[in-house]
Structure formats: structure tokens, C-alpha cells
Amino acid sequence: METLKQTMKNISNLTGEFKDSALEYDFHSYMLQETISYSRRYILTFGFLFLLFFIPDYFLNKDINKLIIIFLIRILFLLVSVLFYLHLPNMKSFLYLFSTIYESIGIIFLWALFLSYKQPNIVIHQQGLIVFILAIFLILPNSLINKLFLSICLTSGFFYIAAIRKTISLSSSSVGLITFTLLIILFCAFAARLINQLQRAQFQNTRALERLSTTDTLTGSYNRMKYDQDLEKEITRAQRYNLSLSGIMFDLDNFKQINDEYGHLIGDQVLIQLSSYIKRIIRVNDRLCRWGGEEFIILLPNTDQEAAVQLAKRIQNYLKNTDFSPVAKTTCSFGVTSLIEQDTVNSFTNRLDQLQYQAKKRGKNCIVSQ
């Protein structure tokens, strides 16, 4: 409940989107794959249903020429649906635009069908109008503003055609039909807004759970599980595309002595301050992971060993010139390596561990690379 309240605070009242554009982009990416999967099925299903509505057309329209035109319109919309079904996976970056174009084409076809009737029955055709309004709100992902705009355009065009064809007048029953249709749009908009809020609350809950499962709560760096996951992906990518990949494992020297002399809270502050500095100087695609206790690993994609050693020296120099009050100074021992052809997650990490251990044996406060 608290997450839903927080989500509603973060959502713009006008558009139903997150006020933070970066958060909105993340939500869009989060929903994209599943959305495309079910939307493709719905597009194809709706195209066939639109064709099957030719059955009531057959009973409502006795003019064979009009029936042929109606059948061709329905077949053409099915072909358009198949075309959109095939190309939807390639339109991830323009999904809302893609949806709007498809729904606009559907609206034009629905108007054309209505015009194809010599004496259309307004009550029966209104049922088709309502089905199409439901499709606009339920079948394809789109912004709430676009859905409202399209449904109002569809309804306005429908009743305008009815007026010029003299199948509707300013009678109480006609006003009732228009009012009922507008209430359907209002209900759909309300339901779509509520679903949208629930989806965004679920998204924020998922993000929070992912953050808890992959982040070290003390330092805010990634944890060991996240390191293993990312290293496996980076090794696969590096081996496939012949890219470099390096890592730095470092361990705070004499950290137990700091905890014993100053207390664990001061020791925690040292870890927080050091990890905060490293997160500021590494690149966006680099990952700082807390391996355990006072041990950390920096995963460096697209980085050769020489550049990794230079980063280790930069951290070493920072430690040399930083006062971790009340701890005067502290140092680290570094192990640095780069990916070799036969490496796995275990072999890469074990080599880092051995190199860092050698740095400890050489007297600490040094960098050993291989």
C-alpha cells in the first residue's frame, strides 16, 4: 500500500507517467518485452475477430456489392494486422507511435465500414464501436492521453457519420447512445489509469527487491551474487566479440586492527568512504562489488591490464593522501588480472584472489598483476 501511495506521488496527474524521465524510461524498458509478446498475439487475434464480424454484416446488409466492399475492408485490416504483427518486435523504440498508427488505421476502416451501409442500424453499429474502444484501451500499449484522444476521435467520427447519413437525430434515445458511449470511454480511462498505477507500483517493488538482492547494504556497492552474474555475462561477451576484460581485487590491510582499536562502526565508515570514492572514479559500465568483509572486486569491461593497474595505482594514491579520521591512514593490497582465452568465472576470480594474496605476502600496500 505504501508503495502504491509513493508511486501515485511520483506519477504526473496529466499523463499518468513518472515525473522522473529516467524512471519512466526504465519502466518502459521493463514492460517492453512482455508487452510486445502479448500485444503481438492480441493484434493477430483482433484482426481475425474484425474479419469474423462479417458474419453479422451478411445478415444486416443484403446489397451484394456493399457486402463485397465490406469484406474487402475487413480482409485489408486483417492484412494490416498481420503486417504489424510481423514488424512489432522491430519497433521497440517507437512502440507508442506504432500503436497509435495501427489504431488510427483501424478507426479509418471502422468509419469506412459504417459508410458502406446504405441504412446502418445505429444501435447495432454502436456495439462494434464499443468493442473497438475496448480494443484501443486493452490491446496495444500506449499512453493514456493517446488512448483518450483516439477513442474520442473514433466516437466523434462515428456519430458525425450517423448524423450526415440521417440515422441519428437529437432525440432522447440518440443522446442516450452518445452519453452511454462517453461513459464507456470514461470507465475505460479510469480502469486503464488504475492498471497503469498498479503496474508502476509493481515495477518499483521489483526494482527495490532487485536492489536488495544484488546490493551490499553497508557500502551500496554490488554484492558477491551480482558479481558472479555480471562476470559470467562479461566473459561471454568478451570472448564472443574479442574484447578485453580486467578485474581488480583489493583488501584493506590490517583491517581487523582498525576494528579492534576503533570499533566496528569506525571500520564501517572506512569501507563506506573508500567505496564511495571508487564509485565516483570508475565508469558507468564498471562494477564495484564487495566480495566479503573488507575485500572488494572492481570488474572492468573493455579494459586492458595496463589500464586496470593504473586504476589500482590511483586508488592506492588516494589512500596514501586520505585521512580516515579517527583512523589516520590505511592501505590496500591489490591483485590485477585480465581475461585469457580459456577463463571461466571461477578461474578468473581465483587468479585475482591468488594475486591479491601474493600482494599481502610481499608486505602489503602493493599491486601484483598478471
Q: Which residues are catalytic?
A: 294
- Residues 125 and 178: their CA atoms lie apart, in Å, by 13
Q: How many CB atoms lie within 10 A of CB 236?
A: 10
- Could you give the count of Cα atoms lying within 13 Å of 214 in the half-sphere of its Cβ? 13
CA distance 197 to 7: 7
- Asked if 43 and 101 count as a contact pair (C-beta separation under 8 A), the reply is no
Q: Is the dihedral of CA 323, 325, 326, 330 positive or negative?
A: negative
Whole-number Å distance between alpha carbons of 149 and 57:
28
Q: Which residues contact 337 (CB under 8 A, 6 or more apart)?
A: 246, 247, 305, 308, 348, 351, 352, 355, 369, 370
Burial class (CB within 10 angstroms; exposed 0-12, middle 13-18, buried 19+) of 91: middle
Which grid coordinates are listed for 247? 578485474
Ordered strands of the 332-338 beta sheet = 287-292, 295-301, 245-252, 332-338, 367-369
